[in-house]
């Protein structure tokens, strides 16, 4: 990467510190988030990490279902769901982070839309319809009733995980929506921000990743 480009990126984004094993972006809740919003941001971050673990458990549970006689559809779908991990960070955790850090209406709206989609998805996988990639409630019951104990145990753990993260994110969603209304933010305000700053402000994380990968 060109030295001037690197220096410019550091000035704009700060020194990369996340994830710790291969830093791609700068993220510091204590330094960047106002004190009144830190607990909410920290809870959202911890729930996101918990969500990553739930996706992993869900995948292993679907693998066991396949090994113990179910079709390949669940594992294929569960494998596809793993793409949600990076997308969830970019599409609703980071917008939440930026909304609470900068107070921009645009970030609030992006978060509310994509986080709402995630909550609906959480209900879907919690139900655990067979052959849909969700090791949820129905798949748990089917596994135990058909004698697939190992798969049943992991499906049960997955079901509880989907419930915990879903309820947690629903609570955060409600708090952010109340904050959005209390601040008097509107869609028109978000449009004005985009007109003034362009979409590049939101895609700053993506731009940083692209610059890193091009070095």
How big, in percent rounded to 5, are the helix, strand and coil portions of the chain?
80, 0, 20
The span from the CA of 193 to the CA of 9, in Å, is: 22
What size, in residues, is the chain? 215
Judging by beta carbons within 10 Å of its beta carbon (0-12, 13-18, 19+), is residue 178 exposed, middle or buried? exposed
The first and second tokens of residue 193, run together, are 């921000």
The first and second tokens of residue 50, run together, are 């918990």
- The single residue listed with the structure tokens 């510091």 is 28
39-64 pLDDT tens trace: 999 999 999 999 999 999 999 999 99
Predicted pLDDT of residue 1? 40
Per residue of the chain (215 residues), give pLDDT as tens. 444 555 555 555 557 888 888 888 889 999 899 999 999 999 999 999 999 999 999 999 999 999 988 879 999 999 999 999 999 999 999 999 999 998 989 999 999 999 999 999 999 999 999 999 999 999 999 999 999 999 999 999 999 999 999 999 999 999 999 999 999 988 888 878 777 666 655 555 444 444 444 44
Predicted pLDDT of residue 17? 87
Q: Nearest Cα to 165, choosing from 103, 99, 108, 88?
A: 88
Predicted pLDDT of residue 207? 47
Structural domain spans, the chain? 36-185
CA distances from 131 to 74, 134, 191 (A): 4, 8, 41
SS3 18: strand
SS3 164: helix
In the 8-state DSSP scheme, what is residue 90? I
Contacts of 154 (CB under 8 A, 6+ apart): 57, 60, 61, 64, 135
First to last CA, the chain: 4
What does the angle CA 19 – CA 134 – CA 155 come to, to the nearest 5 degrees? Answer: 90
Contact 97, 26 (CB under 8 A): no
Predicted pLDDT of residue 76? 96
């Amino acid at each position: 990467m060109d030295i001037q480009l690197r220096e410019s990126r550091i000035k704009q984004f700060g020194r990369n510190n996340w994830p710790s094993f291969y830093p791609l972006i700068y993220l510091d809740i204590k330094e960047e988030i106002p004190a009144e919003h830190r607990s909410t941001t920290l809870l959202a971050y911890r729930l996101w990490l918990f969500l990553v673990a739930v996706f992993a458990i869900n995948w292993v549970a679907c693998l066991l279902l396949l090994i113990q006689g179910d079709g390949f559809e669940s594992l294929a779908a569960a494998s596809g769901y793993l793409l949600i991990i990076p997308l969830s960070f970019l599409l609703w955790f980071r917008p939440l982070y930026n909304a609470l850090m900068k107070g921009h209406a645009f970030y609030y709206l992006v978060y509310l839309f994509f986080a709402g989609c995630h909550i609906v998805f959480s209900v879907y996988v919690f139900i655990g319809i067979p052959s849909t990639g969700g090791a949820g409630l129905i798949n748990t019951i089917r596994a135990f009733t058909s004698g697939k104990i190992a798969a049943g145990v992991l499906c049960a753990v997955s079901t509880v995980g989907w419930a915990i993260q879903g309820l947690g994110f629903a609570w955060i969603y409600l708090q952010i929506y109340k904050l959005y209304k209390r601040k008097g933010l509107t869609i028109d305000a978000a449009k004005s921000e985009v007109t003034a700053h362009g979409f590049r402000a939101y895609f700053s994380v993506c731009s940083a990743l692209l610059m890193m990968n091009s070095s």
